[in-house]
Amino acid sequence: MTPFTGQLEPLITAAAGAILLWVLGARLTANTRFELGRGRYAGAFPFLGAFIGAGLAGGVFTQQSFQALAAGAILLAIIGFLRDRQRFSYLTLLPWGALIIITSLFAATDAATSSIFVISATLWAILIIVCLKIAALVYEMPFILLTTSALTQFIYFSQHQFTQSAVLVNLALLTSSVLMLIYSTGGRRVLTGSSGIFTAGFLLAAVSLLEGSGQLLLFGLFVPSMVILFPFTLISAMIVASYFGNRLHHGTSRERIYSWSLRREKTVLFAGLFFLCLNFLALLVLIDAPTPAYFALFLLFVISLFVFVSTFARKDASNNTQVPRQIEILGIAIDAVLPADVIERIASYLQQTSPASESAADASATARSSTDGSSLFHIVTADSLALVRAGEETRFKSAMQRAALVVPDGAGVVWAADFLGTPLPGRVPGVALVSQICEAAGKNGWKIFFLGGKAGIAEHAANTLNKEHSINICGIEHGYFAPDSEEEEAVLERIARAKPDIIFVALGVPRQEYFIARLRNCLKRGVAVGVGGSFDVISQTLPRAPYWMQRFAIEWLFRLWLEPRRFMRMLGIPAFVLQILRHKWNTENS
């Protein structure tokens, strides 16, 4: 007997159930606010509909295993729904989700006799749910994953003994996912939501457990793990590829945009073929397939490769390769400037606000906003972590928006600009900028104030720069004083008295930005640059990453090695990559 015999009826009822519940769900949630992005919310409705439909036709609702799965799926759908309504954080939901998974899997499986089984089965289900959650970065991706997994499992079942419940659940997953995929053709988006992901992930995990096959478990693990790795490996591959022909850092913007012109539809197609190849490879190994089957798989792989090449390598003719004055990344306007442009701007700010200048107001007009009447120009050196922070802290975001210049400091920002199709001319690394400003200051006689770092560090950095560029230093202060303290007032006063043309503020992000905002009240002209940990590097307290690491955009790894305490902050880098990916793939014109 094959699992396909007599499965037509459950197939039809599963499809009918999926459509019915989805339509019903859409009506019920018509006035519900979801903040999941643009698209139509599906949640767990189609999965539950297909599950109930297949179960009714298969006559298995009286079986304890099926009832337990239904109870688990419905409860997870409900807590996922609450999450979709932003009512609970994942942290709050985790123990409840785990409890539901443990009890329902325990009730559904005969094998659930040992605590080891219960723990591993729960972790297994949570892992699959996490995999689907990451796949949901691209709206249709969970459906692709579920379709390919369910499809290959069907073929696998036909070669083995199988439980009827497992086949019916698999059928339900396959039907609902395929329906959602069909719906989403033509650019319509379906939002799975946590509700759909919790439910589908739980059911997928249950199928592999009900089959009780260690091989199947492994096979299931392999594919979802690929989904976790997919966005990150893809980006790493792209960054590496950009050094072979696309030259991320040295090419012109026209050349750089070459590799980033990928569209969501193509990405989804590529991912689908990629997952299918992996699924089938595992399947062929498991069922001990004959050689022609491997040949067919090879052909599929070649097609995937072709899609890959046409997706990532071909230039999109519609790209506008003219570099605009400013580009936007995650809601922050970044100035498309090179270090030489920054120096030019500084010179012009200082010239226009010099005491001899007739109108300081004219100079204010050249900055993006100097609404408070101060002509202190704030330059922000923004890296990817700063952009993530701006999304989380309104105060920091508005400090960035008020700045005269926001320069791209970091390969992550340059990568994101390229990836979003609005390339920047290049990087403006903070450390190099400090040195270049000092060089210009030496020539023009600008007065410089050094603020920040531990005692002695600013002095050391200032002396190093003075030796190289003979600069006019008008003040040096360490940066260890409490915000809004009397000591800070005293520092502000000393800076005001020193009247610097340029002040480097090295207090770290976002403190330095807040300090500069305060400085506007007492310093009416000049340029303030937030320079983070630059003094540590210039004074050689912290060595700069080797050149090859800078080239391969892994300077952050070097800093992590030197300062392991930065680890928590570094977690913002994958968050940045994920936010950019999400934005690219899911915004209207991507």
Determine the size of the site formed for ligand UDP (CB under 6 A).
13
Q: Which is nearer to ligand UDP, 501 or 536 (CB)?
A: 536
In the range 451-510, which residues lie near ligand UDP by CB under 6 A? 452-454, 479-480, 506-509
Strands (E), 26-168: 40-41
Q: Which of 274, 419, 535, 585 binds ligand UDP (CB under 6 A)?
A: 535
Give least dist CB 152 to ligand UDP, A.
46
Instruction: Pick the closest to residue 169 from 186, 187, 150, 188 (CA basis).
Output: 150
**What single string gives the DSSP state of each residue in 359-411?**
-HHHHHHHSS--TTS-EEEEEEEE-HHHHHHHHH-HHHHHHHHHSSEEEE-SH
Q: Which is nearer to ligand UDP, 314 or 454 (CB)?
A: 454
In the range 213-232, which residues lie near ligand UDP by CB under 6 A? none
Q: Which is nearer to ligand UDP, 518 or 583 (CB)?
A: 518
Q: Which of 533, 545, 573, 577 binds ligand UDP (CB under 6 A)?
A: 533
- Per-residue H/E/C for 467-507: HHHCCEEEEEECCCCCCCCHHHHHHHHHHHHHCCCEEEEEC
**Max CA pair span of the chain:** 95
- Judged by DSSP in three states, 191 sits in strand
Q: By Cβ distance, which residue is nearest to ligand UDP?
A: 479
Position 480: which residue type?
A: Y
Query: Is 306 exposed, middle or buried, given 0-12, 13-18 or 19+ CB atoms closer than 10 A?
Result: exposed
Give least dist CB 410 to ligand UDP, A.
10
Give least dist CB 483 to ligand UDP, A.
8
Q: Which of 53, 97, 224, 532 binds ligand UDP (CB under 6 A)?
A: 532
Tell me: does residue 406 bind ligand UDP (CB under 6 A).
no
d(CA 316, CA 176): 34
Q: Which is nearer to ligand UDP, 412 or 452 (CB)?
A: 452
Q: Which is nearer to ligand UDP, 17 or 453 (CB)?
A: 453
Judge contact between 166 and 17, C-beta under 8 A.
Answer: no
Judge contact between 14 and 53, C-beta under 8 A.
Answer: yes
Judge contact between 153 and 216, C-beta under 8 A.
Answer: yes
Judge contact between 165 and 65, C-beta under 8 A.
Answer: yes
Give least dist CB 454 to ligand UDP, A.
5
Q: Which two tokens stand for residue 123?
A: 């972790």
Give least dist CB 524 to ligand UDP, A.
24
Give least dist CB 187 to ligand UDP, A.
40
Give least dist CB 305 to ligand UDP, A.
40
Give least dist CB 314 to ligand UDP, A.
38
Q: Which is nearer to ligand UDP, 298 or 480 (CB)?
A: 480
Contacts with ligand UDP, residue ranges (CB under 6 A) = 452-454, 479-480, 506-509, 532-533, 535-536
